[in-house]
Amino acid sequence: MDPNTSYDVLIIGGGPGGTPAAMALAQAGKRVLLVEAGHGLGGTCLFEGCIPSKIFRETAAKRRELASLGDFGLPLPQTEGMSVNWSAVQTRKHHILSGRAQGALAKARSLPGLDVVFGRARLTAPRSAVIETGGERREVAFANALLATGSVASPLPIPGADLPGVLDSTGLIEIGFVPKSLALIGGGPIGVEMAQIFAMLGSQVTVLEAGPRILGPVDGVLAGLLSERLRGEGITVETGVSVQAIEGEGQQHTVRYAHEGQVHTVEAQVVAIVAGRHPNVDGLGLETTAVQHDRHGVKVDATLQTDEPGIYATGDLVGNPMFAHWATAQSLAVARHLLGAPAAFPNPAHNSAVIFSYPELGMAGLTEDAAHAAGLEVAVAEYDYRIDARAQISGDAFGRLRLVYRKDDRRIVGVHALVEGAADLMGEAALIVRHGLTLEQVGAAIHPHPTLTEAFGLTALGAK
């Protein structure tokens, strides 16, 4: 084979499901070709998802803090109705994203065995592909391949969904102004985060969710508390609805939906369909291989190998859970596997995640319902953050901690926290769940006071 067109590993997708494996394999001496269709390394998380939305949240949260400084003895004049320089927010976002993408690219290109190409890759056979970039076409051969093309926003078959001013989650990230009113179709993590962000920025927000509650897979108790919080902040939350049509033009839209047999409408300047994402398999040339897929994603085995031997898939492409850190864990596991090293492939029962609502909602391991569905006999120990010293000091003593544990050996199988600062608690939570610590072991650890994390020890010690 021509050494200029032959690689040990072809990786399609430069996000968290592909780039970590590319770097690990190149560092181990493999010749790797990494092909990314976008304009930088980082994937959906960096350019369209978790990072941009958290940048927006930071602005919204600081605006909220300024309005409450009087409670801390620091009254500021004219905080009511404080304007937002949205252009500056978007400029800050682009600066952060550009810096992170450039840093990743510089690190990748410092590895002699790693070629990074911005273009499109399409499989032409089980061991070959064509790369198209800048009007040029190049054929390559490979020994193994990793598919990590992520996901795209899921469209809904709603009349009027293609009207100007009706956005998907990507369009909402790129919006050029703070709308006076916003209707969000979808009450999952994206919908809830965006609802609170724009409400804190001054928008009148409505959330329309088809399911019986927002955040369906999340701990039911915490989802219920957060739903109450949204409504208390003036956000309209409608669940169990069926959106029938979107009408209007320009900057005025009407969303018509059915709820409990009655037809209702909501007026909004901007409508955003944020009802999740689906695996991005288009244009990969999977039909030239034995790789199988359906609407849930590419089919893989326990080692993330597809039905085509030597071709692997990671991240959003293989379906839920769709989290950047999950994709990274899978990517690194595949790299170790291809190097012949022992590889601990990620276990969904040990996954952790954070929804950056207000307050934050963190989770690690199984919910109470998921544990019951798995046939486990479990109980739940709870802690109310209203009595927590650190939460009181911060000025937002609201939330709950729930430890899900097995009744037989008292091992903790799930940690779920709703409190501002929950994101930073999930490191300990992930370790607790990953190593199957018991209530007694967590209770025996000395947690510093006053911190949010001491609730772990107090809750464990107080469990029956």
The rounded distance, in Å, linking the Cα atoms of 153 and 444 is 45
Q: For 300-316, how does the pLDDT look when each residue is reduced to its tens digit (9 = 90+)?
A: 999 999 999 999 999 99
pLDDT at 464 (0 to 100): 85
Instruction: Give the CA count within 13 Å in the CB-facing half-sphere of 272.
Output: 28
Q: CB–CB of 421/374 below 8 Å? A: no
* CA 310 to chain CA centroid, nearest Å: 28
CATH T-level fold of 6-48+90-152+278-346: FAD/NAD(P)-binding domain (3.50.50)
The pLDDT of residue 153 is: 86
Task: Assess whether pLDDT exceeds 70 at residue 81.
Answer: no
Q: Helices then strands (H, E): number in the chain? A: 13, 24
Which uninterrupted H or E stretch holds 272? strand 270-273
Model pLDDT, residue 1: 45
Rounded to an integer, the average pLDDT of 268-277 is: 92
pLDDT at 277: 87
Least confident of 151-155, 179-183, 244-248, 252-256: 151-155
Q: Nearest to residue 127, comparing CAs of 115, 139, 136? A: 139
Is 337 designated active site? no
| CATH H superfamily, domain 350-462 | FAD/NAD-linked reductase, C-terminal dimerisation domain (3.30.390.30)
DSSP state of 175: -
Binding site for FAD: residue ranges? 54, 149-151, 316, 322-325
- What predicted TM-score, i.e. pTM, was given to this entire model? 0.93
Q: What pLDDT is stored for residue 48 in this prediction?
A: 78
pLDDT at 3: 55
Domains 6-48+90-152+278-346 and 166-275 share a fold: yes
Q: Over the chain, what is the mean pLDDT?
A: 94
C-alpha closest to that of 35 among 65, 61, 66, 14: 14
The mean pLDDT of 220-226, rounded to a whole number, is 98
Instruction: Please say if the pLDDT value at position 163 is more than 80.
Output: yes
pLDDT tens profile 397-426: 999 999 999 999 999 999 999 999 999 999
Query: What is the residue-wise DSSP string for 357-392?
Result: -SS-EEEEE--HHHHHHTT--EEEEEEEGGG-HHHH
**Phi and psi based region of residue 311 (left: phi greater than 0; alpha: psi -120 to 50; beta: remaining):** beta
- Per-residue confidence (pLDDT) for residue 438, from 0 to 100: 98
CATH number belonging to the domain at 166-275, selected among 3.30.1050.10, 3.30.300.30, 3.40.50.2300, 3.50.50.60: 3.50.50.60
Q: Which of 192, 228, 225, 209 is nearest to 266 (CA)?
A: 209
Nearest alpha-carbon partner for 235 in 172, 182, 306, 171:
182
- The pLDDT confidence band at residue 5, using thresholds 50, 70 and 90, is confident
pLDDT, one tens digit per residue, over 324-356 is 999 999 999 999 999 999 998 999 999 999 999
Compute the distance between CA of residue 460 and CA of residue 464 in angstroms, rounded to an integer.
Answer: 9
Structure confidence by residue, pLDDT tens digits, 86-105: 999 999 999 999 999 999 99
**pLDDT value at residue 2:** 55
Q: Could you please report the per-residue DSSP string of 200-249? A: HTT-EEEEEESSSSSSTTS-HHHHHHHHHHHHHTT-EEEESEEEEEEEEE
Pair type for strands 166-168 and 270-273: parallel
* Concatenated DSSP letters of 322-350: --HHHHHHHHHHHHHHHTTS------GGG
Is the Cβ–Cβ distance between 179 and 45 less than 8 Å?
A: no
Hey, where are the domains in the chain? 6-48+90-152+278-346, 166-275, 350-462
Residue 115's pLDDT is what?
96
What are the backbone angles phi and psi of residue 418, rounded to the nearest 5°?
Answer: -120, 105
Weakest-pLDDT range from 54-58, 70-74, 200-204, 334-338: 70-74
Binding residues: 54, 149-151, 186-193, 209, 276, 316, 322-325
Give the separation between CA 22 and CA 116, rounded to whole angstroms. Answer: 9
- Banded model confidence at residue 78, pLDDT cuts 50, 70, 90: low
What confidence score (pLDDT) does residue 75 get?
A: 84
